Amino acid sequence: MEPEKVKTYFRQPGVVEHYLHAANSVGLWHSEEKLFTRLFAWDDSLLELGCGAGRIAVGLWEIGYRRITAVDYAKEMVAEARRINEMFEYGIFFHHGDALKLKYEDNTYDGAIFGFNGLMQIPGRENRRQAMREICRVITPGSWFVFTSHDRDAHWRAEFWQEQRALWDAGKQHPELTQFGDLYYDEPEGGMMYIHTPTRDEVLEDLAAAGLRHEADALRNELANEPAGVREFADECRFWVVQKPE
């Protein structure tokens, strides 16, 4: 699967509208707020990757963070995020850019976030490692990077993954998919959507390969009891807290 094809999905009006609704009506999850406020100081400069229409960046601004740069490779998403920023006269910097090739100097930010499984929407394991390396490069030593993924080890999805295993063993997976755990399925907002669902061990290997230190990981429902609006918008996921070594 080519990264460009995934980008095309995110640029569609229905998909942009979906993430605009998230920015306006869903807001920061309780789990996100809990983690971010524990890890990041109020004056830290924060980089958010895959910001969509601004749900997380706007939420961070509204709870008091003031040094936020947020990036997305879909320029239609960035335009909507900028519109919210201007309407409320917030001071977030929204940039158009690709997490695989960040245009920032080494050691620029005090923390980074790639929320709502966006990192897992980068197709190809080597590409995901490349994004991790880039994020590691632009944050200062000792800084935290928080991201989420779905969880292939989750017991409530065991039957689904057994069915997928049978499909892949028979060579009947979608022809564009290359790694077990990849999914490509129809979403009502805009057609076929790509996402990779890793095992916990796989993420740990990728972090090590990218030079990031694993600090902790936990399921969202272990961190907070999310309201119905959040649970409808986004399934259970695993939060990862990792660090650029000192």
Ligand X SMILES: C[S@@+](CC[C@H](N)C(=O)[O-])C[C@H]1O[C@@H](n2cnc3c(N)ncnc32)[C@H](O)[C@@H]1O
Binding site for ligand X (CB under 6 A): 10, 19, 22, 49-52, 55-56, 71-74, 77, 98-100, 115-118, 121-122
Q: How far is the CB of 67 from ligand X (least distance, A)?
A: 18
71 or 242: whose CB is closer to ligand X?
A: 71
How far is it, in rounded angstroms, from Cα 214 to Cα 211? 10
37 or 130: whose CB is closer to ligand X?
A: 130
70 or 242: whose CB is closer to ligand X?
A: 70
Characterise 99 by phi-psi region: left (phi > 0), alpha (psi -120 to 50), beta (else).
alpha
Cα dihedral 58, 64, 66, 69 sign: negative
90 or 168: whose CB is closer to ligand X?
A: 90
Q: How far is the CB of 166 from ligand X (least distance, A)?
A: 28
Contacts of 226 (CB under 8 A, 6+ apart): 29, 30, 31, 220
168 or 209: whose CB is closer to ligand X?
A: 209
Phi and psi at residue 133, in whole multiples of 5°?
-65, -45
Helix (H, G, I), strand (E, B) or coil at 97: coil
Q: How far is the CB of 108 from ligand X (least distance, A)?
A: 17
Q: How far is the CB of 98 from ligand X (least distance, A)?
A: 4
Nearest to 4 by CA among 198, 194, 197: 194
Q: How far is the CB of 6 from ligand X (least distance, A)?
A: 6
Q: How far is the CB of 39 from ligand X (least distance, A)?
A: 17
63 or 167: whose CB is closer to ligand X?
A: 63
Cα dihedral 5, 11, 12, 18 sign: positive
Tokens 């158009």 correspond to: 96
Phi and psi at residue 198, in whole multiples of 5°?
-90, 160
